[in-house]
Amino acid sequence: MEQDCVFCKIVDGKIPSTKVYEDEWVLAFDDIHPMAPVHVVIIPKQHIATLMDVKTEHLRSLEAMVHAVQEVARRKSVDKTGFRLVINCNEQGGQVIFHLHMHVLGGKKLKDALD
């Protein structure tokens, strides 16, 4: 855990969140500034700064994140209608919080681009 990381604080329970899914490896919660009717953030419980920092020892966390995407999609009823999965990487890629995370967006027809 990184003491200044907001997502590590959410994992630790120091910052509240609306949990959608949780297991030993990951936590999924509703985004506090949703960009779609369904907007869930999925994070590994282990601190990994960016996608570029993923190492072999993190692969179990990534596998768990993919499983969480499927579970979140079912729980939010977008598994059949469709959703977008986004991973922003580094500043120019739009990453604001430097703890690896995925955005699950859905619940309406999404535009071709997010900008």
For residue 3, the model assigns a pLDDT of 81
Does an H or E element contain 75, and which?
helix 59-75
Q: Give whole-number Cα distances, 18 to 31, 42, 93, 95, in Å.
A: 8, 12, 26, 21
Catalytic residue among 39, 99, 101, 103: 101
Reported as a single tens digit per residue, the pLDDT across 25-43 is 999 999 999 999 999 999 9
Query: What does each C-alpha distance from 26 to 21, 54, 102, 106, 113 come to in angstroms?
Result: 8, 15, 11, 20, 27
Show me where the domains of the chain are located.
6-106
Report pTM.
0.94
Is 33 among the residues known to form the active site? no
The three-state secondary structure class of 9 is helix
Q: Is the pLDDT of residue 4 over 70?
A: yes
pLDDT digits 0-9 by tens, 100-109:
999 999 999 9
Domain 6-106: CATH architecture, name and number where available:
2-Layer Sandwich (3.30)
